[in-house]
């Protein structure tokens, strides 16, 4: 996986099936990454209302 475009016969690649398999694996890996990334970016957090304020103190406990 040198990322160089060249004639496969001159480069010594004897088994083109192996090349196709490697290309399909790489493509599937990138597709999986894109699907995961899109799902992560697409999720918008919900705006939750603020929690209710705490109740007042007990009566007769003032100074």
Cα-trace Rg, the chain? 30
Domain count, the chain: 1
In the predicted structure, residue 53 carries a pLDDT above the cut 80: no
Whether 51 is covered by a domain: the verdict is: no
The pLDDT tens digits for 8-50 are 778 887 777 888 899 999 999 999 888 887 666 666 778 888 7
Whether 53 is covered by a domain: the verdict is: no
| Angle at the Cα of 46 from the Cα atoms of 54 and 30, rounded to 5 degrees | 145
Q: Whole domain around residue 13: which residue ranges? A: 9-43
Non-local CB neighbours of 16 within 8 Å, separated by 6+ positions: 8
Whether 54 is covered by a domain: the verdict is: no
Whether 15 is covered by a domain: the verdict is: yes
Whether 18 is covered by a domain: the verdict is: yes
């Amino acid at each position: 996986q040198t990322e160089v475009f060249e004639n496969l016969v001159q480069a010594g690649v004897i088994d083109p099936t192996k090349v196709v398999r490697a290309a399909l694996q790489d493509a599937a890996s990138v597709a999986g990454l894109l699907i995961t990334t899109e799902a992560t970016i697409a999720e918008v957090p919900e705006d939750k209302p603020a929690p209710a304020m705490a109740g007042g103190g007990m009566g007769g406990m003032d100074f």
